[in-house]
Amino acid sequence: MGRMDDAITELEAQLVEMWRRGRARTRDRAAAINPRLDPTCYPLLVTLRQQGQLSMSALGAELNIEKSTLTRQIDAVARLGLAQRTSDPDDARVRLVSLTDDGARQVDAVTGDAISEWRTRLAAWDQNEVRELTRLLAKLAAETD
């Protein structure tokens, strides 16, 4: 038990607080897209916007969720008109998932607002600090995969 243990304890506490606040932001962003959107579906929509059309298996792997959970989430966002399933023209057994035009517009609006919020919150930070934070978060994420 040394100084590193105290630093790790503080890191854990800060990460828990960040996740708590992140869940609240996710809830708010999901509601901004559609008040009936389950917040657990928000990462699915953002992933589709970032990566485009994906097979259900690729989307499940990207989100690290099971097929039954993924199917329920896709059903939910499809009912809201935010995403759609299509058959893969190269393999009829494969279902592709993509955002609808309306879904893409709504995700763009919400993520644009989120980026604006981050710009405001970090306006006083030096650009090198932002880059260093980004680098360290990517490093931490790679260590947890």
pLDDT digits (tens, 9 = 90+) for 35-53: 999 999 999 999 999 999 9
Q: Which residue range(s) make up the domain with 22?
A: 3-144
**Tokens 């955002």 label which residue?**
99
Q: Which two tokens stand for residue 6?
A: 């105290």
CATH at residue 64? 1.10.10.10
Ranges of the chain with pLDDT below 70: 1-5, 145
Question: In sequence order, what E strands does 63-134 have?
Answer: 83-88, 91-99
Cross-strand pairs, 98: 84
Q: Which two tokens stand for residue 80?
A: 């809201």
Domain count, the chain: 1
pLDDT tens digits for range 76-85: 999 999 999 9
pTM of the predicted protein model: 0.86
